[in-house]
């Protein structure tokens, strides 16, 4: 490139490329970011001195695009893409190595590439910020919804306790006075259903954090062992392999023993229920500097995206009628919240669900 006209032509191409890249980024759809990155790659291809043989490779975070004839053996200019000051990818512009060398690139082309890499990094940062805002908004909305449900549930539970106690008490009195066996059997059915209803009320009060707690220092591993013994028949029936992993036998936290047992029982029982026959369930107990983690993973079908925000709501269940009240996970959520912990779920690999409980350390 010897003449002033050639130099001017190259500067115009570079400025045009920067303008087009800026326009692409401004109008980017964060849900279709790969298309924007592909458009940027072809903008770069047109901006180089020998554009007919120029090829581009671009990798940013989870996204990766390249022009049609890019190959790894090309001679390339490289610029790293940084997202929040951390390298998250790179953009390469290359010529065929059998005809060109690094000397065939212009100094200005490296500057252009650095500017484009910076702009791509800023785009990815904005996508991450947007995604985090959406996640935070959903978490706040779910927390508000669960708080309102907790207040309503507590009121319902208190209102139901008295009439259930009356039904049970008067049915017991009638049982003592009546001699007809058929009538006694009917009264026993009334009492059994009243007791079942009272257990549901108790679970509702757990969800609403209305049950009194006996907080003390408890060791987790013995509780896990006791729960697995209770679930041994179910594990045998489904031929489920249960893997228990922990990094310290003496892991302890301040908790209500009965409630923590209920948390473990419900989460492991759910994992067994949704895992296929001859599948496996893993239970990990980890201690970090600030938290104690309970991680229960199954190999079931997983939680559909449209149901992710509903699984902790009372009376919501995907189990067939008669196999679940829909109170298991809502109760677990209420107990964990009352222990100042958090409960989260995410997909397992290749399929299934992982529930993770974070408890604060003593």
Give the residue from 294, 307, 274, 301 showing the smallest Cα distance to 339: 294
Judge if 321 and 278 occupy the same domain: yes
Judge if 258 and 286 occupy the same domain: yes
Judge if 311 and 335 occupy the same domain: yes
State how beta strands 55-60 and 75-83 pair.
Answer: unpaired
For 330, the token pair is 């809502």
Contact 296, 281 (CB under 8 A): yes
Place of tokens 């023993």: 257
Query: How many domains is the chain partitioned into structurally?
Result: 3
* Residue 152 confidence (pLDDT) above 70: no
Categorize the per-residue pLDDT at 81 as very low, low, confident or very high, splitting at 50, 70 and 90.
very high
Give per-residue pLDDT as tens, 184-232: 888 888 888 887 777 666 666 665 555 566 788 989 999 998 888 888 8
For 299, the token pair is 């190999």
pLDDT at 294: 92
pLDDT at 27: 86
Judge if 145 and 114 occupy the same domain: no
What is the average pLDDT across 124-146?
74
Judge if 13 and 61 occupy the same domain: yes
Tell which of 150, 172, 207 closes a domain: 207
Tell which of 110, 134, 158 closes a domain: 134
Judge if 182 and 222 occupy the same domain: no
What is the average pLDDT across 164-183?
83
- Of the two residues 150 and 58, the one the predictor is more confident about is 58
What is the average pLDDT across 305-320?
68
What is the average pLDDT across 180-185?
83
Contact 159, 213 (CB under 8 A): no
Give the residue from 61, 20, 70 showing the smallest Cα distance to 44: 20
What are the residues facing 296 on neighbouring strands? 283, 355
* Residue 167 confidence (pLDDT) above 70: yes
Judge if 12 and 92 occupy the same domain: yes
E-strand stretches of 110-268: 215-219, 241-246, 252-256
Query: What CATH number does the domain containing 15 carry?
Result: 3.30.450.40
Show the domain range for 50: 4-134
Judge if 234 and 287 occupy the same domain: yes
What is the average pLDDT across 32-43?
90
Judge if 219 and 352 occupy the same domain: yes
Place of tokens 């390249």: 66
Judge if 171 and 104 occupy the same domain: no
- Of the two residues 148 and 72, the one the predictor is more confident about is 72
Judge if 164 and 110 occupy the same domain: no
What is the average pLDDT across 324-346?
77
Q: What mean pLDDT, rounded, does the chain reach?
A: 83
Judge if 351 and 228 occupy the same domain: yes
For 228, the token pair is 């697995």
Give per-residue pLDDT as tens, 50-76: 889 999 999 988 889 999 899 989 999
Place of tokens 């209305």: 210
Q: Give residue 120's Cα distance to chain centre.
A: 27
Tell which of 207, 241, 258 closes a domain: 207
Categorize the per-residue pLDDT at 141 as very low, low, confident or very high, splitting at 50, 70 and 90.
low
pLDDT at 326: 47
Query: Which pTM does this prediction carry?
Result: 0.47
Give the Cβ contact number of residue 267 at 10 Å. Answer: 24
């Amino acid at each position: 490139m010897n003449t002033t006209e050639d130099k001017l032509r190259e500067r115009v191409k570079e400025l045009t490329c920067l303008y087009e890249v800026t326009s692409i980024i401004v109008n980017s759809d964060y849900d279709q970011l790969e298309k924007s990155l592909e458009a940027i790659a072809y903008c770069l291809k047109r901006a180089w001195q020998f554009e007919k043989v120029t090829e581009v490779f671009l990798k940013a975070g989870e996204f990766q695009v390249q022009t049609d004839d890019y190959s790894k053996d090309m001679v390339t200019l490289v610029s790293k893409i940084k997202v929040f000051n951390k390298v998250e990818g790179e953009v390469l512009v290359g010529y065929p190595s059998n005809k060109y060398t690094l000397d065939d690139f212009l100094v200005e082309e490296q500057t252009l590439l650095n500017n484009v890499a910076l702009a791509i990094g800023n785009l990815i940062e904005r996508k991450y910020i947007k995604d985090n805002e959406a996640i935070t908004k959903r978490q706040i909305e779910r927390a508000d919804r669960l708080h309102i449900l907790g207040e309503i549930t507590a009121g319902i539970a208190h209102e139901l306790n008295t009439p259930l106690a009356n039904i049970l008490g008067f049915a017991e009195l009638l049982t003592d006075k009546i001699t007809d066996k058929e009538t006694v059997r009917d009264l026993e059915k009334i009492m059994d259903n009243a007791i079942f209803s009272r257990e549901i009320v108790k679970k509702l009060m757990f969800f609403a954090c209305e049950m009194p707690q006996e907080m003390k220092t408890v060791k987790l591993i013995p509780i896990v062992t006791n729960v697995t013994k209770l679930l041994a028949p179910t594990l045998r029936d489904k031929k489920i392999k249960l893997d228990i992993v922990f990094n310290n036998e003496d892991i302890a936290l301040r908790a209500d023993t009965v409630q923590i047992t209920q948390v473990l029982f419900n989460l492991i029982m759910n994992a067994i229920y949704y895992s296929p026959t001859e599948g496996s369930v893993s239970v990990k107990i980890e201690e970090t500097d600030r938290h104690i983690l309970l991680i229960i993973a199954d190999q079931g079908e997983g939680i559909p995206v449209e149901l992710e925000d509903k699984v902790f709501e009372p009376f919501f269940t995907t189990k067939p009628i008669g196999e679940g009240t829909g109170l298991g996970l809502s109760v677990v959520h209420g107990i964990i919240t009352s222990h100042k912990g958090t409960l989260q779920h995410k997909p397992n690999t290749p399929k299934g669900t992982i529930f993770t409980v974070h408890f604060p350390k003593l």
